[in-house]
C-alpha cells in the first residue's frame, strides 16, 4: 500500500504543470550538455590520437635515422681501416696490426671482436687473441667480404659464444658483422678485416629515444626484419609479428597485433645505402588504452560536469515552475468551487501577475463568447468541404512524391535496391516472351573502407555521389543505374545482344573512375563484374549472383579490373 501511494503521488506530480516543466527543462539541459560533452570528447579523442601517433612516428624516425648513421659509420670505419698502409703493406700477423685492432676495440665499446683472416680463411690477428688460427672460411662474413665491404644481419654468436662475457644471461650473445677485403697495391687479396659488433649496441641505440615518461605510458620499441619478424626485444622473438599495415604511407595506425590488444603503431624502415641494406624496421607501439587514458579521463569529467549542471538546472526549473504554477492551481480550485456549489468563488489575488488577473476576467465572459463561437462554427463548417477537397489534392501530390522517394536512393539520387529488383523482375519475365536479353554490371569501389576510416564518412558520402554521377554519364538513358548497397552499385543494361556490349560499358566506367579526381581522396578505382541473362535461369536473381561472382574475380585480379561470368543458354 505504501509503495502504491508513493507511486500515485509521483505520477500526479509528473503529470502536473510544475512536474512537466521541471522534467522538460531538466531533460533538455541534460541532453544538450551530454551532446556537447560527447562531441568535445570525440574531437579530443581524434586530436589526441593524432598527437600520440605523430609523436611515435617522430621517435621512430629519429631511432631509424640514428641507427642508419651508426651502422654506416661502423662500416665506413672498417672500410677506411682496411685501406691503411699498415694493412695493405704491413705484416698482417705482426704485433703492430694486433695493437691497432686492440686500440680500435678499446675506442669503440660496441665492438666485441676485431680480427684479420688470410685469403684461406685462417685468423691471423684478433683482439684478445680470440680465435687465432681458427678456420672461418664457412662464415658468411668471410665469404661475402672477399669481394667488397659487407654488413651482416643479426645472428647468434657461434665460435665466440663461450669465450666472451655476456651481460644478459636470459638470452644468447648476438652480433652484427662488419667486414671488408684487404688488397695490396696491386689489387691482390691479402685477407679480410672483420668486426663483430654487439647486438646490444644496436638495441641500446634504438632504446635511447624512449624516455622514462614513454615507458610509463607503455610505449614499446621493437626491431623487425623486412618480413615483420621481431628481432628485438628477445622475449618477443618468434612470439610476435608485425601486422600488415592497411596504409603503408600513413605515419601511424591502430593495429591488432594478435595478442588481444590494439596498439597505436608507427613503423619506419631503415634506408639502404652503399654499405648497408638490412631491411630492418623500427616499430614504436603504445597500447590503445594507455594512449587514450587521458582523453577518456577528460571525457568522464565532462560527463560528470554535465550531469551535475543538468541537476542544478532541473532544480532551478522546479523553483521557477512552482512560482508560475501556484496562482494557476488557486484559479483551478476557484473554478471547481463554481462547478460544485454554483456560487461565486473567491478568485485568488494575482499579485505581481497580470496574466492571472486577466485570466480571471476572461473566465467570467467565457460563456457569452461560447454562444458567438457556435455561430462562427456553422460558417466554418460550410467552408470546410472546399478546404477538404484542396487538402485531398495536396495529399495526392504528396503521395506521388513519397512514391518517388521510395524508389530512389537518398544519398546519390540513383534508383534504390527496391527499384532495381522491380526492373530486373520485369526484364526476366519479358525474356521468354519478347526475347530481349539483358546484362547486369556489379560495380564496387576499391578500398572504400579506407576512405571512410581515413577521411571520414562525410568525404565517403561525397565520393559515392561523384561515383553515381560518373555511372550516369557512362550509361544510356534506358539503362537502370542503382545503388545496390554501401559502396556497391548495379547497372541493368536492356536489349544487350551479347555480354561483350556490357564489357564495353564496364571498361568505360572503370576508366572514367580511374581518371577522375575525387576531392580530399585523390584517385579511386572500381572493380566491375558482368553477366548476361540466360533462358535457363530459374529466377531473376541468378544473373545478379553471376555478376557478383564476376565482381569477386575482378577483386582477386588485383582490383581496378573487369571480369565476366557467362550464363548458360
218-266 per-position pLDDT tens digit: 898 999 988 888 888 888 887 788 888 777 788 888 888 888 888 888 9
Whether 12 has a pLDDT exceeding 70, the answer reads: no
Report the catalytic residues: 487
Mean pLDDT value of segment 302-307: 74
Residue 73's H or E segment, with its range, is helix 17-81
Instruction: Report CA-CA distances (Å) from 200 to 73, 103, 208, 225, 547.
Output: 17, 21, 12, 16, 57
Instruction: Output b/e per residue, 239-275; b: 16+ Cβ within 10 A.
Output: ebebeeeeeeeebbbebebeeeeebbbbbbebeeeeb
- Residue (of 567, 423, 417) closest to 494 by Cα position: 423
Mean pLDDT value of segment 158-175: 79
Q: Is 230 left (phi over 0), alpha (psi -120 to 50) or beta?
A: beta
Mean pLDDT lowest for which of 49-58, 232-241, 346-355, 532-541? 346-355
Assigned C-alpha cell, 552: 569477386
Confidence of residue 123 (pLDDT cuts 50, 70, 90): very high
Higher per-residue confidence, 378 vs 168:
168
Confidence of residue 164 (pLDDT cuts 50, 70, 90): confident
Assigned C-alpha cell, 360: 480571471
Higher per-residue confidence, 354 vs 439:
439
Mean pLDDT value of segment 341-353: 57
Whether 482 has a pLDDT exceeding 90, the answer reads: yes
Whether 117 has a pLDDT exceeding 60, the answer reads: yes
Mean pLDDT value of segment 490-502: 89
Mean pLDDT lowest for which of 285-299, 319-333, 516-530? 319-333
The pTM of this model reads 0.51
Interstrand relation of 526-532 and 562-564 (parallel, antiparallel or unpaired): parallel
Task: Say how many Å lie between the first and final Cα of the chain, rounded.
Answer: 79
The proportion of the chain whose per-residue pLDDT surpasses 70, expressed as a percent, equals 77
What pLDDT is attached to residue 467? 96
pLDDT digits (tens, 9 = 90+) for 60-114: 889 889 988 998 999 999 999 999 998 988 899 999 999 999 999 899 889 989 9
Confidence of residue 44 (pLDDT cuts 50, 70, 90): low
Mean pLDDT lowest for which of 8-12, 318-322, 462-466? 8-12
Quote the mean pLDDT of the chain: 82
Amino acid at each position: 500500500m505504501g509503495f502504491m501511494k508513493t507511486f500515485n503521488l509521483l505520477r500526479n506530480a509528473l503529470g502536473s504543470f510544475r512536474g512537466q516543466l521541471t522534467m522538460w527543462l531538466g531533460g533538455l539541459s541534460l541532453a544538450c550538455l551530454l551532446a556537447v560533452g560527447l562531441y568535445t570528447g570525440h574531437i579530443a579523442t581524434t586530436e589526441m590520437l593524432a598527437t600520440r601517433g605523430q609523436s611515435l612516428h617522430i621517435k621512430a624516425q629519429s631511432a631509424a635515422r640514428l641507427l642508419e648513421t651508426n651502422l654506416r659509420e661502423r662500416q665506413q670505419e672498417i672500410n677506411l681501416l682496411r685501406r691503411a698502409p699498415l694493412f695493405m703493406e704491413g705484416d698482417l700477423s705482426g704485433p703492430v696490426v694486433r695493437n691497432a685492432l686492440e686500440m680500435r676495440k678499446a675506442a669503440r665499446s660496441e665492438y666485441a671482436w676485431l680480427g684479420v683472416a688470410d685469403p684461406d680463411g685462417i685468423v691471423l690477428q684478433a683482439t684478445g687473441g680470440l680465435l687465432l688460427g681458427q678456420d672461418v672460411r664457412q662464415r658468411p662474413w668471410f665469404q661475402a667480404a672477399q669481394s667488397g665491404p659487407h654488413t651482416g644481419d643479426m645472428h647468434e654468436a657461434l665460435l665466440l659464444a663461450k669465450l666472451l662475457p655476456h651481460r644478459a644471461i636470459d638470452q644468447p650473445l648476438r652480433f652484427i658483422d662488419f667486414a671488408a677485403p684487404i688488397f695490396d697495391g696491386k689489387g691482390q687479396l691479402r685477407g679480410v678485416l672483420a668486426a663483430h659488433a654487439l647486438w646490444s649496441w644496436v638495441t641500446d641505440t634504438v632504446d635511447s629515444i624512449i624516455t622514462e615518461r614513454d615507458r610509463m605510458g607503455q610505449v614499446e620499441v621493437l626491431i623487425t626484419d623486412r618480413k615483420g619478424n621481431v628481432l628485438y626485444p628477445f622475449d618477443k622473438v618468434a612470439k610476435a609479428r608485425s601486422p600488415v599495415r592497411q596504409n603503408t604511407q600513413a605515419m601511424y595506425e591502430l593495429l591488432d597485433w594478435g595478442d588481444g590488444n590494439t596498439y597505436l603503431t608507427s613503423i619506419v624502415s631503415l634506408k639502404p645505402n652503399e654499405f648497408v641494406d638490412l631491411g630492418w624496421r623500427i616499430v614504436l607501439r603504445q597500447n590503445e588504452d594507455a594512449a587514450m587514458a587521458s582523453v577518456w579521463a577528460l571525457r568522464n569529467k565532462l560527463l560528470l560536469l554535465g550531469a551535475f549542471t543538468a541537476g542544478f538546472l532541473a532544480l532551478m526549473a522546479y523553483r521557477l515552475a512552482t512560482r508560475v504554477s501556484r496562482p494557476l492551481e488557486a484559479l483551478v480550485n476557484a473554478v471547481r468551487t463554481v462547478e460544485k456549489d454554483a456560487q461565486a468563488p473567491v478568485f485568488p489575488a494575482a499579485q505581481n501577475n497580470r496574466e492571472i488577473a486577466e485570466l480571471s476576467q476572461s473566465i467570467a465572459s467565457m460563456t457569452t463568447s461560447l454562444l458567438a463561437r457556435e455561430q462562427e462554427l456553422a460558417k466554418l463548417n460550410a467552408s470546410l468541404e472546399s478546404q477538404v477537397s484542396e487538402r485531398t489534392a495536396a495529399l495526392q501530390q504528396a503521395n506521388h512524391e513519397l512514391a518517388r522517394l521510395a524508389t530512389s536512393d537518398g544519398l546519390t539520387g540513383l534508383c534504390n535496391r527496391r527499384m532495381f529488383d522491380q526492373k530486373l523482375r520485369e526484364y526476366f519475365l519479358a525474356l521468354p516472351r519478347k526475347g530481349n536479353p539483358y546484362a547486369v554490371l556489379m560495380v564496387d569501389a576499391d578500398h572504400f573502407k579506407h576512405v571512410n576510416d581515413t577521411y571520414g564518412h562525410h568525404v565517403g558520402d561525397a565520393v559515392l555521389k561523384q561515383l553515381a554521377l560518373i555511372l550516369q554519364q557512362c550509361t544510356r538513358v534506358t539503362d537502370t543505374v542503382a545503388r545496390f548497397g554501401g559502396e556497391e552499385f548495379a547497372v541493368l543494361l536492356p536489349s544487350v545482344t551479347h555480354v561483350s556490349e556490357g564489357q564495353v560499358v564496364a571498361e568505360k566506367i572503370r576508366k572514367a573512375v580511374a581518371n577522375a579526381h575525387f576531392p580530399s581522396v585523390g584517385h579511386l578505382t572500381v572493380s566491375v563484374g558482368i553477366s548476361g541473362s540466360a533462358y535457363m535461369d530459374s529466377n531473376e536473381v541468378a544473373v545478379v549472383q553471376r555478376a557478383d561472382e564476376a565482381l569477386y574475380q575482378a577483386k582477386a585480379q588485383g582490383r581496378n579490373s573487369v571480369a565476366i561470368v557467362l550464363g548458360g543458354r
